[in-house]
A and B are shown apart, each in its own frame.
Chain A
């Protein structure tokens, strides 16, 4: 049981480039989330999904896009990378809304640097 898998673990992008951060979970969780973690700022919610085909914006969605074509996968797309998007990105999943029963299961993160 792998849990939540994120790839890549590290990436350096040039300004204006695009990339997709991959997230896959094998727990059949309906709820999935993308957070970014900036030093001293905690985690900010970028996008979330309550099931396949359903996504919605979080607190800081600008510059990002998501899709949820299957229960397992929840990729995060950066179209025009900017230095402000330098951060550590975490994907999380939960069987219940807000993670009440079991908390969230987090991936190990993607450290992205935009230069």
Chain B
């Protein structure tokens, strides 16, 4: 079974500082990994993904994430935070070898990112 953990319910960062939102995963094979962002009263928006290749992936709005297979992590990062980055962030995983049963992504519980002016 696949699972994903986001250990922090909330992350507070001052504007202009670097930010990191943590994510660890568990799958039996090589994972497909995703980050989504949710603004208040909106649906989730796709930020970035790791499928294969370079461990550092770049996505929308200046975000990037680093895939670390040995630590089974996929942390979301941004060099300089903006107040407008404040939102709820979800990490998601899928085992590409999964067949039958429940298809689709498994999401973490979400991390509230608060950027303080």
Chain A positions within 8 Å of B, measured between CB atoms, are 4, 31, 33, 35, 40-43, 45, 48, 50, 56-59, 90, 92, 97-100, 102-109
Contact: B104 with A102, CB < 8 Å?
A: no
**Given A43-B90, A97-B103, are A103 and B108 neighbors across the interface (CB < 8 Å)?**
no
Q: How many residues of B contact A (CB 8 A)?
A: 24
A25 to chain B, nearest CB (A): 12
Q: How many angstroms from the CA of A11 to the CA of B107 in the assembled complex? A: 25
Q: How many angstroms from the CA of A91 to the CA of B51 in the assembled complex? A: 23
Chain B positions within 8 Å of A, measured between CB atoms, are 9, 32, 34, 36, 41-46, 49, 51, 90, 94, 96, 102-110
Q: How many angstroms from the CA of A108 to the CA of B49 in the assembled complex? A: 21
Q: Which of B51, B90, B102, B109 interacts with A100 by CB under 8 Å? A: B51
Contact: A48 with B36, CB < 8 Å?
A: no
Q: How many angstroms from the CA of A48 to the CA of B102 in the assembled complex? A: 8
| Interface pairs A-B: 4 shortest CB-CB | A103-B46, A106-B43, A43-B107, A42-B109
Contact: B110 with A48, CB < 8 Å?
A: no
Q: How many angstroms from the CA of A89 to the CA of B109 in the assembled complex? A: 15
Residues in chain B near residue A109, CB distance under 8 A: 41-43
Residues in chain A near residue B90, CB distance under 8 A: 42-43
Q: Which of A57, A97, A103 interacts with B36 by CB under 8 Å? A: A103
Residues in chain B near residue A31, CB distance under 8 A: 103
Residues in chain A near residue B32, CB distance under 8 A: 98, 100
Closest B residue to A102 using CB positions = B46
Most chain-A Cβ atoms within 10 A of its Cβ — which of B32, B44, B51, B94? B44
Residues in chain A near residue B34, CB distance under 8 A: 99, 103
Q: How many angstroms from the CA of A102 to the CA of B109 in the assembled complex? A: 22
A4 to chain B, nearest CB (A): 8
Q: How many angstroms from the CA of A101 to the CA of B75 in the assembled complex? A: 20
Residues in chain A near residue B41, CB distance under 8 A: 108-109
Residues in chain B near residue A35, CB distance under 8 A: 107
A89 to chain B, nearest CB (A): 11
Contact: B102 with A45, CB < 8 Å?
A: yes
B111 to chain A, nearest CB (A): 10
Contact: A108 with B107, CB < 8 Å?
A: no
